[in-house]
């Protein structure tokens, strides 16, 4: 406890550059929109009331669906991958992990644009499909393209925590289970999976949260044909000049994500390996 | 943990201070300044906010050399962005910007908000270079608070080799023939999203009637089914690549230098948009600001926009300087001011702007 002054710079930085701006923006949610944008400081709750409008709840539901689908797919792909990586010899593990993280070293936008080239009508996907005699598919500018893009972007965030909890797992536990007569599936179901549940939850949260708020992928790969809540917030600030409503949306998002975060923390404690 | 709580409380207090600090706007309380035509411009400096790539790259150097005024260029991506900066959260005029480039209806809104300095015509003799039509624009008759920089209209940009029939109507975009399904793009910026539907229905592009906007919404939602994508920025690329065949486009953005690509204004009519230059009331360099506007209206400078970004400029003297070869290759550049003025001017609709926002969210979120 004597060392707490050491946290000074960190706390100050977070206060000045995160808590204050965030508090300012969120406080806008309780004021009126200025006719030409900006905020008129007359208190109101109508921005929060507008959140209940079916137009916006539909957008929220749609975003939840897209983010949930992305998360489930990321788990289904990420778990086996992490399992294989954790089973590799030490040196190969490092190489595999670097390969997982490698895409983060290039700009996200550039990678999304690459997906446009892959998926577009005359693009590579359809060239490959034609080569094996299958018809052209219209993927670009659909929700499928949005999910594909989000999955691609956030899959590493699923694999890394899964790997961390799988690598920590004592191999003797599954050996013991096998010795006691459990088949591989039973070992996975009753030993491995429950013990890696904290990693699963962390991975799911890491994928769900940024997918939910993403607005670049829906715009570029979705062709602006579907709206996610991130687009909605961005548009309120940059297009509609309706900061208070944008702030109200951000407030709702933040509240929802806090609930998820607490749920994850609670579940992680509940299922933590003892 | 106690320490953390205190920090939290301080943060909460800090967050509230700016809110109580500037309760009301005190815009427009003072009249126009008297400007000194003989002011020493070298003692002034300018910050200009403009769209990226919308003025000659060497403009600051040229202005500094010819007028002795140091110029700093700031970029904004959209009208909304610069509006946010200029009207910024009640901070009224602390933007540090002297001259801003905004579209006509936004200039109108800024003027109504009392943020603009009237244009002192005596300091801008080059106003005489403008077409007479450009001095009587709907949002600002007589250039009292804005000076037009470029103008144009919105229409259909298409690939002659990919369409069977050249498009003539907004319906070709909203209800495309079979061969164009999933090959058309529309704009998503609120006023221009609504424009094709409003024109087909014979309504004003400035309508604020709920019924008219609801009719437009029905049409736009139907049109969405046949759309490749909504695109405000890269529709030209898509046409060049052949990804799309027909696009709603601003005339200057239609890549007509490609011989396969043409631009047409649909028979139902379209809009007239104008991008303008305004001087901020908060500027402390108003003489220099006027000198800059006057400098830009010089045919040598103003013709740059027509020659390099293919936007028509409302400057007769400048248009007369444009290379005839360029005019021949790019039909939109040849539109006469009289034809252009057939388009309906987009004006600010005040509070009703939120109706357009809602419309565009409804269309984007709908299926």
* Residue of chain B whose Cα is closest to the Cα of A32: B89
pLDDT of residue A51: 92
Q: Does A138 touch chain B (CB under 8 A)?
A: yes
Instruction: Provide the terminal-to-terminal Cα distance of chain A, rounded to the nearest Å.
Output: 27
Which residues in chain A belong to E strands, given as ranges?
Answer: 31-33, 39-43
Instruction: Looking at the complex, report in whole angstroms how far the Cα of residue B318 sits from the nearest Cα belonging to chain A.
Output: 33
Q: Residue B9 pLDDT more than 50?
A: no
- The alpha carbon of residue B22 is apart from the nearest alpha carbon of chain A, in Å, by 9
pLDDT tens-digit readout, A193-251: 988 998 999 999 999 999 999 999 998 899 888 889 999 998 888 778 788 999 999 99
Q: How far apart are CA A164 and CA A158, in angstroms?
A: 10
CB contact residues (below 8 A), chain A span 25-54, against chain B = 27, 33-41
Q: Which of B113, B242, B362 sits opposite A55 (nearest CB)?
A: B362
Q: Do A24 and B231 touch (CB under 8 A)?
A: no
**Is A105 part of a structural domain of the chain?**
yes
Could you give the CA distance from residue A11 to residue B13 in angstroms, rounded to a whole number?
16
pLDDT score for B210: 96
| Domain of residue A122, residue span | 48-271
Q: For residue range A253-268, what is the model confidence (pLDDT) as tens digits?
A: 999 889 998 988 888 8
In a domain, A185, yes or no: yes
Question: Between chain A and chain B, how many beta carbons pairs sit less than 8 Å apart?
Answer: 116
CATH number at residue A254: 1.10.3720.10
Test the B interface: residue of A36, A113, A136 with most B CBs within 10 Å: A36
What is the share, in percent, of chain A residues with pLDDT greater than 70? Answer: 97
CATH architecture classification, B154-269+347-365: 3-Layer(aba) Sandwich (3.40)
Residue B302, CB half-sphere, CA atoms under 13 Å: how many? 29
Chain B within 8 Å of A186 (Cβ-Cβ)?
no
Above 0.85 for ipTM, yes or no?
A: no
The tally of domains found in chain A comes to 1
For the stretch A23-77, pLDDT in tens is: 988 899 999 887 766 788 889 999 999 999 999 999 999 999 999 999 999 999 9
Looking at B52-96, which runs of residues are DSSP E strands?
71-76
Domain B43-150+274-335 has CATH 3.90.1170.40: no
A225 part of contact set with chain B, CB < 8 Å: yes
Domain assignment present for residue A39? The answer is: no
A253, two tokens: 């998002």
Backbone angles phi, psi at A61, to 5 degrees: -65, -45
> What is the location of CATH 3.40.190.10 in chain B?
43-150+274-335, 154-269+347-365
Flag if A141 and B228 touch (Cβ within 8 Å): yes
Q: Are B217 and B224 in contact (CB under 8 A)?
A: no
Choose among A34, A226, A242: nearest Cβ to B87: A34
């Amino acid at each position: 406890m004597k060392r707490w002054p050491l946290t000074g710079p960190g706390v100050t930085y977070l206060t000045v550059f995160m808590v204050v701006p965030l508090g300012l923006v969120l406080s806008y949610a309780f004021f009126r929109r200025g006719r030409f944008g900006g905020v008129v400081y007359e208190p109101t709750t109508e921005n929060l009331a507008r959140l209940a409008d079916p137009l916006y709840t539909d957008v929220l539901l749609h975003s939840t669906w897209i983010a949930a689908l992305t998360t489930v797919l990321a788990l289904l792909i990420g778990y086996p991958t992490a399992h294989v990586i954790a089973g590799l010899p030490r040196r190969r593990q490092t190489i595999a992990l670097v390969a997982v993280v490698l895409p983060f070293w290039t700009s996200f936008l550039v990678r999304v644009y690459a997906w446009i080239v892959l998926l577009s009508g005359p693009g590579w996907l359809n060239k490959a499909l034609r080569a094996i005699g299958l018809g052209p598919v219209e993927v670009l500018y659909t929700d499928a393209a949005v999910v594909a893009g989000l999955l691609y972007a956030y899959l590493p965030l699923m694999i890394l925590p899964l790997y961390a909890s799988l690598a920590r797992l004592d191999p003797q536990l599954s050996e013991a289970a096998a010795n006691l007569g459990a088949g591989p599936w039973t070992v996975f179901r009753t030993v491995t999976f429950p013990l890696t549940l904290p990693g699963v939850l962390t991975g799911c949260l890491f994928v769900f949260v940024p997918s939910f708020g993403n607005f670049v992928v829906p715009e570029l790969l979705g062709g602006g044909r579907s709206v996610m809540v991130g687009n909605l917030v961005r548009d309120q600030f940059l297009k509609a000049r309706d900061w208070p409503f944008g702030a109200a949306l951000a407030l709702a998002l933040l509240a929802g994500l806090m609930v998820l975060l607490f749920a994850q923390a609670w579940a992680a404690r509940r299922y933590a390996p003892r | 943990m106690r320490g953390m709580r205190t920090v939290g409380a301080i943060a909460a207090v800090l967050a509230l201070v700016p809110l109580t600090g500037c309760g009301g706007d005190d815009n427009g309380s003072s009249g126009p300044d008297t400007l000194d035509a003989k002011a020493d411009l070298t003692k002034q400096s300018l910050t200009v906010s403009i769209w990226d790539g919308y003025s000659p790259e060497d403009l600051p150097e040229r202005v500094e050399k010819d007028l002795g005024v140091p110029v700093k260029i700031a970029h904004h991506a959209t009208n909304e962005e610069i509006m946010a900066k200029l009207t910024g959260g009640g901070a009224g005029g602390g933007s540090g910007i002297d001259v801003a480039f905004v579209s006509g209806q936004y200039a109108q809104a800024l003027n109504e908000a009392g943020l603009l300095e009237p244009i002192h015509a005596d300091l801008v003799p080059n106003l005489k270079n403008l077409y007479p039509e450009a001095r009587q624009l709907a949002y600002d008759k007589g250039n009292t608070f804005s000076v037009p920089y470029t103008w144009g209209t919105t229409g259909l940009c298409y690939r002659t080799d990919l369409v069977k029939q050249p498009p003539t109507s907004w319906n070709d975009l909203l209800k495309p023939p079979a061969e164009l399904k999933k090959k058309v793009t529309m704009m998503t910026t609120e006023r221009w999203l609504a424009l094709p539907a409003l024109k087909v229905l014979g309504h004003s592009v400035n309508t604020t009637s709920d019924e008219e906007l609801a009719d437009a919404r029905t049409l736009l939602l139907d049109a969405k089914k046949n759309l490749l994508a909504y695109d405000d920025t890269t529709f030209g690329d898509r046409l060049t690549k052949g990804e799309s065949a027909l696009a709603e486009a601003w005339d200057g953005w239609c890549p007509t230098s490609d011989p396969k690509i043409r631009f047409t204004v649909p028979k139902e009519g379209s809009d007239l948009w104008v991008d303008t230059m305004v001087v901020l009331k908060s500027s402390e360099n108003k003489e220099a600001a006027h000198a800059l506007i006057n400098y830009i209206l010089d045919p040598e400078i103003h013709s740059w926009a027509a020659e390099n970004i293919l936007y028509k400029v409302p400057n007769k003297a400048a248009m007369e300087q444009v290379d005839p070869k360029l005019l021949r290759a790019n039909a939109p550049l040849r539109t006469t001011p009289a034809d252009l003025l057939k388009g309906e001017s987009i004006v600010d609709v005040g509070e009703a702007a939120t109706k357009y926002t809602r419309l565009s969210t409804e269309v984007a979120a709908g299926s």
